[in-house]
Structure 1
């Protein structure tokens, strides 16, 4: 009788543990696929959690206007998967400005996921993980006032300070009629308000804006630049090698492809390759 009771209690304990593990395999609205703690980091910026920086808003990539409101999105769920495999079931999102972020001037986070392209200049100030996404430069216009390939260089173009889109517009297209905005939200608002005729930034970002603008904006074209996104890591941080391994594992086991299909392709409703390429 004592043995049977012990076995019964052990069974209840195992069931309770299994239920807890099942309930824990989720951060926000993100279903997690990897093994918790499979590639641990031992010195997070804040004990007991993974802290991820992002420049908001970033619809589809981070679904919500404030860190507290975000529970899913392509990069949020990537961050959740990284946190889980690093050994944490708590993910803290902090909002930062883009220019200080890519300039290595922000602190208190383990990594940043903010549709950040790898550039040689940025590599002098921060470290990068393996790349996880390819993107070119898109041309976003108002749907009621589209701009064609020839007109891009003559209309008023909006660019975001410190971005590869800004560098491309100025150095390659050599636009002369342009307005510079500190943050993405200001750039997109200027387009919707009619202050500019076109916004030049990453194709992935323009597609996300189009998807959330209810038909008011349209990606009319893109330029081939070969940009690649990666996680931004604090320079020479002790956790960087482990975080890089986690992201590579997420790519290798197909999780990244599933996240892209769920959050990007589904939201955009189109293949980026279907957007015509303009010539510089």
Structure 2
């Protein structure tokens, strides 16, 4: 009887050790660190909103993260092939992508927004864009979207992101239409502009997870709920985008 108990105890110990070893396995993360402020390289290190959030999730999961940098177009295929477990890199949740990967709950609402100078009282909502000078960046979807929804707006088309913001500062444009992360970061850093509360479009970022790893998706969702409940998520949000982002 004693021998049987010893064998059972040993088996349980080995099982617990195996579970602990499994839990400590790194989560393999595909990332394209070229999209500030969400993820980018600074002083040779990855940084950004997603990086800070991922670190908080890693702590809740009890598993380290193993990043692999790659082009954006290669991230989903890397998860499908099994080379990576997840994509955590400002990726939109779309019906097309859902066919080949699973997604966690949304963790950030992006999309197009309107940014104006502080003190501007003539432009307080999207419908006020008609007839106004609106700076947009060439090559982005903001141009086509504006032409379709606000054809009366006078588009100021520029080549670079900073030219778009400079147009607003120099009063060559009444507003800027661009992606929410970049607009929030600029407004926070400069202090001279504000993002209108009503967005033009809504597009949610989620973490793409291999369809072969449903438990990992469930674990990440639980960790995401935890960092939102304990205030960690809001601290990261304010750190990168300011109090107005909440």
Q: For the superposition of Structure 1 and Structure 2, which TM-score range results when normalised by the shorter chain?
A: 0.5 to 0.7
Matched position secondary structure for 2:107: strand
The counterpart of 1:207, out of the listed 173, 177, 184, is: 184
The counterpart of 1:259, out of the listed 220, 225, 232, is: 232
Distance 1:160 1:127, change over 3 A: farther
The answer to whether the 8 Å contact 1:117/1:228 transfers is yes
The structure with the largest alpha-carbon Rg is: 2
* Residues 123-166 of structure 1 deviation map (CA, whole Å, 9 limit, x = unaligned): 35654222223346321346699982524664244258576x66
**Structure 2 length-normalised TM:** 0.61
Q: Flag the structure with higher helix content.
A: 2
| Cα offset, 1:209, TM superposition | 2.6
Give distance in 1, aligned partners of 2:70 and 2:117.
28
The answer to whether the 8 Å contact 2:30/2:88 transfers is yes
| Structure 1, unaligned runs of 5 or more | 1-35, 43-47, 274-280
The answer to whether the 8 Å contact 1:207/1:219 transfers is yes
**Matching residue of 1:238:** 212
The counterpart of 1:53, out of the listed 31, 53, 60, is: 31
| Structure 2, unaligned runs of 5 or more | 1-18
**Matching residue of 2:86:** 111
> How large is the Cα RMSD of the aligned pairs?
4.4
Give distance in 1, aligned partners of 2:138 and 2:230.
28
Give distance in 2, aligned partners of 1:89 and 1:138.
35
| Cα offset, 1:88, TM superposition | 4.2
